[in-house]
Amino acid sequence: MKRLTENQNFTAFFYQKLMKDYDHRNDHSGVSGERLAKRLSQLSEIGLTTGGGSCRIGFSNEELQAKEMVKEWMEGAGLEVRMDGAGNLFGRIHGKYPDKAAVLSGSHLDSVPNGGHFDGPLGVLAALEVAEAWKATDYIPERPYEVVVFTDEEGSRFNNGLLGSSAVVGGNDKEILLQTVDMHGKAFQDVIEENGLTLEQFFQSEQKREDIAAFIEVHIEQGKRLEKENLPVGFVTGIAGPCWLELTFTGKAGHAGNTPMDDRYDALVAAGDFVRQVEALPSNISPSAVATVGQLNVFPNGVNVIPGKVTLTVDIRDIFLETRDRLVAEVLALAKAVTEPRNIQLQVEEKVRIEPVPIKADMQRKARAAIEKQGITPYALPSGAGHDAMILGRHLPVAMLFVRSKDGVSHHPAEWTDLNDCVIAVHTLKQLLEDL
């Protein structure tokens, strides 16, 4: 009972914070900022952490509860609701011409273990708010329209995300998933069966490409570009594909006092030189490329021992395949350049290599036009993070609208996006969908 009261108190606080500086002039054309604020607040109750964050891991009871809540809202908006074998939730408006390919919009409701309340839910609720606005104004779209909630985007359960959207395009590897276990050691098959799903149904969730005309995703930016430009929304030019490398520098451990400086094979000195120089590489190749050393482990890690081995990871991303792969080659060349003169052995293991997804020029143009119709200067920016749109974008036309993030914070309880910006994003999405 105490926990329930705490959740309700947080929900009230969250709603009041959203509404505090809301400009009700944004309420028009059937769009309601108050309804959006209430729904964001109600979802925040589910999986609320003691730190005020969100914990709705993929395939958890909390994710299911959130889907049930959204399902009720979909039905209340007059949508025809179904759930596929992967647990993806769809709410459909048949439109004037039901036989045409549908336009989809949505995102996900799962979170990282102590994340925020906008990453994913905003995209779902923005898509649903468009349906509510159409209902309020008796607007019927030409094509069928589906609001979609994808399962397990974040990947916190199996350390392998985007499973729901991958199921829709037949992109999951059955053999790999059958060998996958979650954070508690439960097999993938057991986990989905606990969710009322079956293995057979999961791998029968692929939809025909010709049934989907396009997918549009609204998402918080998770960065500072829009904030620096003082803009509420922007359109995405491409979704970066990561390449993760694990580099091992092997030298020779020795006594820190008795080994002279000219007779050392210090793995950390080589690794440190590499780390220092990596940050200069991306800007020489592409303005949207990035490279990050995220993990670094030193062995034997003693105060008075020369490091004999260092293992580190490099996360390399860009929205274009050619420049991403050029950067990978430059990173590897740098690693060789700092190890060979020092007689340090270098071992390279490629952990991940995913192709980037550039957004097609026509979809960018339409997104730009929708933003301009809101009286906002259109601003183009890349997505450094992966999204469900990345998975569908390999097979279908996609567009993404980013919404301003306060201080660029995401995957953290402090994640915040102003309600005015959220509602402007709904109007932009609505315009884009009507244009499509």
Residue 106 confidence class, pLDDT cut points 50, 70, 90: very high
159 phi and psi, to 5 degrees?
55, 40
Could you give the percent of the chain with pLDDT greater than 90? 93
Residue 342 confidence class, pLDDT cut points 50, 70, 90: very high
Residue for token pair 């005309």: 213
**pLDDT value at position 3?**
52
Residue 158 confidence class, pLDDT cut points 50, 70, 90: confident
The distance of Cα 46 from the centroid of its chain, to the nearest Å, equals 20
**pLDDT value at position 110?**
96
Return the number of other C-beta atoms located less than 10 Å from residue 381's C-beta: 20
**pLDDT value at position 165?**
96
Is the pLDDT score of 381 beyond 70?
yes
- The answer on whether 72 is annotated among ligand-binding residues is no
Indicate the domain borders of the chain. 2-240+356-435, 241-353
Mean pLDDT of 89-114: 97
Is the pLDDT score of 261 beyond 80?
yes
The answer to whether domain 241-353 has CATH 3.30.950.10 is no
Mean pLDDT of 392-403: 97
**pLDDT value at position 7?**
73
Flag whether the pTM goes above 0.75: yes
Residue 48 gets which letter from DSSP?
B
Is the pLDDT score of 385 beyond 90?
no
- The answer on whether 411 is annotated among ligand-binding residues is yes
Q: Name which residue leads in pLDDT, 11 or 251.
A: 251
Q: Is 50 exposed, middle or buried (0-12, 13-18, 19+ CB in 10 A)?
A: exposed
Residue 161 confidence class, pLDDT cut points 50, 70, 90: confident
Residue 5 confidence class, pLDDT cut points 50, 70, 90: low
CATH class, domain 2-240+356-435, is alpha beta
- The answer on whether 387 is annotated among ligand-binding residues is no
CA angle 245, 250, 253 (to 5 degrees): 145
pLDDT, tens digit, 9 for 90 and up, residues 19-53: 999 999 999 999 999 999 999 999 999 999 999 99
Residue 117 gets which letter from DSSP?
S
**pLDDT value at position 213?**
97
Mean pLDDT of 326-351: 97
Share the mean pLDDT of the chain: 95
Residue 1 confidence class, pLDDT cut points 50, 70, 90: very low
Helices (H), 279-436: 321-339, 361-372, 388-392, 419-435
pLDDT, tens digit, 9 for 90 and up, residues 115-141: 999 999 999 999 999 999 999 999 999
Mean pLDDT of 145-168: 93
Residue 57 gets which letter from DSSP?
-
Mean pLDDT of 185-193: 94
pLDDT, tens digit, 9 for 90 and up, residues 409-434: 999 999 999 999 999 999 999 999 99
